[in-house]
């Protein structure tokens, strides 16, 4: 029974016929072994189905390495050029349909070397001189990842620009601000949108810092002890566009911090997107009704004809789980691994690739939602006017006129309770009514029943007073231009 259960666990790795061990000569490491790996192990350990994404990085890095070997006389200049040309042909071929269909290589490095050998012959056997796959994969991921980080930054900037455009479309719109999902205080629509701008600005800052950590050149580290071939690492770094060099060969072999840093930044960015999605799902619902999502980003029901579902936002909210899951997966993967390289570390790539795709797709989708959304200012204002979200404004005006704030808080609280019990909205109160309720109220304080009056008082830097919001949005446009220049 136990044997049967074990077999049921791994049907996907069992071959259709009797396994044929792979030839050891097909492997970069085969000389030590009398026989090749089983087909089950080949299928279980192979990574070509996902690390093929790194082929351009692997080719470009190998071309640079060929030139480095020429500088230390392992290759002649002509040999290095021949290898570089052949590698370019490999990259061109990889872009054509069917290139990977019959490939049985264990990883992208093996595939590139095999394809190189087919074009350059025995000369290809020299290219791995002094180079380990441990440093090679670090180079590949770093080279590829910095481009993906830049793409994520561009998409975030595009979304932030859409938020500012949305704010400019309704410069005077007042909406409820919430705490505990309860209407709390009135704010300008632009102030609300600027809050998300600031979240994404922090994400951009994080991504910029992550890119700086990613963009270090690891070649020269060997498997763990460094290379015995004294090629110019700095020259290779300049050639490949890296900002600097890694400092310790053992650290390179053991390090996946740069992957975790990226996943951390993406997870926080996705958390912010998920919060925006949740807000707009609520605000566009029939119960709130002051935001309308475009037909282009919503879908209907297969059963209920009246439905207009916020699927785009729900998917963004859902994809946060995938990105955070990828982050925790790689954090867990690296816990307790002894120095230096361990094959466990191969498992970092699929979570990384998936998280980047989910983050970038979510950013593009969110921009589409923001671009096409329409605010209903009158509905939002009515939600403010019908609530008692002006209560704080009234209490603070009492405090400005000498009533201790705790007493003012209590007094306005009683006013709100009385009004709710009587079904009386703020606009129904007159100055005389207020003074009759309590002499602490002056008749002219009735103006604070209008939410626009309270907004004007919130004039500190970062507040929702109209002039402050105008300044903040103008500054945000300038910062956005600066962010674009950094790309």
The pair phi, psi for residue 20, each rounded to 5°, is: -115, 115
Please enumerate in sequence order all residues whose Cβ is within 8 A of that of 160, keeping only pairs 6 or more positions apart, or say none.
Answer: 197, 200, 201, 204, 476, 480, 483
Spatial separation of the C-alpha atoms in residues 353 and 357, rounded to whole Å:
6
Which of 180, 228, 302, 478 is flagged as catalytic? 180
Beta-strand pair 216-217/244-245: parallel
Cis omega (within 30 of 0) on the bond before 471?
no
Q: What six digits make up the tokens of 91?
A: 């990259």
Element (H, E) at 354: helix 349-372
What count of other Cβ atoms lies within 10 Å of the Cβ of residue 447? 14
Spatial separation of the C-alpha atoms in residues 204 and 198, rounded to whole Å:
10
Cα end-to-end distance, the chain, whole Å:
60
Which of 285, 299, 301, 332 is flagged as catalytic? 301
Angle at 478 between CA 474 and CA 481, to 5 degrees: 140
Please enumerate in sequence order all residues whose Cβ is within 8 A of that of 80, keeping only pairs 6 or more positions apart, or say none.
Answer: 66, 67, 69, 70
Look up tokens 């309770």; give the residue: 417
Spatial separation of the C-alpha atoms in residues 262 and 53, rounded to whole Å:
17
Please enumerate in sequence order all residues whose Cβ is within 8 A of that of 353, keeping only pairs 6 or more positions apart, or say none.
Answer: 50, 53
The pair phi, psi for residue 2, each rounded to 5°, is: -65, -40
Question: How many whole angstroms from its chain centre is CA 91?
Answer: 28
User: Residue 375 region, left (φ>0) first, then alpha (ψ -120 to 50), else beta?
Assistant: beta
CB 213 within 8 A of CB 255: no
Spatial separation of the C-alpha atoms in residues 337 and 256, rounded to whole Å:
11
**Annotation marks residue 180 as catalytic:** yes
Using only C-alpha atoms, what is the Rg of the chain? 31
Q: What six digits make up the tokens of 315?
A: 């998917």
Look up tokens 């190189």; give the residue: 116
Please list the active-site residues: 180, 301
């Amino acid at each position: 029974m136990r044997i049967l259960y074990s077999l049921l666990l791994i049907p996907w790795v069992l071959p259709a016929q009797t396994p044929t061990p792979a030839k050891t000569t097909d492997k970069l490491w085969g000389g030590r072994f009398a026989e090749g790996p089983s087909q089950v192990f080949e299928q279980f350990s192979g990574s070509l189905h996902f690390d093929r994404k790194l082929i351009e990085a692997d080719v470009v890095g190998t071309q640079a390495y060929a030139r480095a070997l020429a500088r230390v006389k392992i290759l002649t200049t002509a040999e290095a050029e021949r290898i570089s040309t052949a590698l370019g042909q490999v990259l061109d071929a990889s872009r054509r349909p069917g290139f990977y269909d019959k490939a049985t290589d264990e990883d992208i490095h093996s595939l590139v070397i095999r394809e190189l050998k087919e074009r350059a012959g025995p000369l290809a056997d020299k290219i791995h001189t002094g180079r380990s796959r441990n440093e090679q994969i670090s180079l590949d991921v770093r080279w590829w990842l910095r481009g993906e980080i830049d793409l994520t930054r561009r998409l975030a900037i595009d979304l932030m620009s859409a938020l500012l455009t949305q704010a400019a479309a309704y410069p005077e719109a007042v909406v409820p601000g919430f705490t505990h999902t309860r209407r709390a205080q009135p704010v300008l629509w632009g102030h609300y949108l600027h809050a998300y701008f600031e979240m994404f600005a922090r994400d951009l800052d994080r991504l910029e810092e992550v890119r700086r950590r990613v963009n270090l050149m690891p070649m020269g580290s060997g498997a763990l002890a460094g290379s015995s071939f004294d090629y110019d690492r700095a020259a290779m770094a300049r050639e490949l566009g890296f900002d600097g060099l890694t400092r310790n060969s053992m650290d390179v072999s053991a390090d996946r911090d740069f992957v975790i840093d990226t996943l951390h930044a993406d997870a926080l960015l996705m958390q912010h997107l998920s919060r925006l999605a949740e807000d707009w799902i609520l605000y566009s619902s029939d119960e709130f009704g002051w935001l309308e999502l475009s037909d282009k980003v919503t879908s209907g029901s297969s059963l209920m004809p009246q439905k207009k579902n916020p699927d785009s936002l729900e998917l963004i909210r859902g994809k946060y789980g995938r990105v955070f899951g990828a982050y925790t997966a790689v954090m867990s993967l690296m816990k307790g691994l002894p120095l230096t390289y361990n094959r466990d570390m191969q498992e970092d790539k699929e979570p990384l690739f998936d998280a980047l795709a989910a983050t970038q797709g979510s950013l593009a989708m969110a921009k589409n939602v923001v671009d096409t959304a329409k605010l209903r200012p009158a509905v939002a204002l009515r939600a403010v006017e019908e609530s008692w979200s002006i209560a704080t404004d009234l209490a603070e005006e009492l405090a400005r006129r000498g009533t201790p704030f705790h007493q003012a808080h209590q007094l306005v609280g009683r006013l709100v309770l009385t009004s709710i019990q009587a079904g009386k909205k703020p606009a129904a109160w007159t100055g005389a009514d207020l003074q009759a309720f309590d002499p602490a109220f002056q008749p002219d304080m009735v103006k604070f029943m209008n939410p626009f009056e309270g907004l004007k008082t919130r004039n500190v830097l970062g507040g929702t007073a109209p002039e402050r919001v105008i300044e903040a949005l103008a500054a945000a446009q300038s910062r956005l231009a600066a962010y674009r220049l950094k790309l």
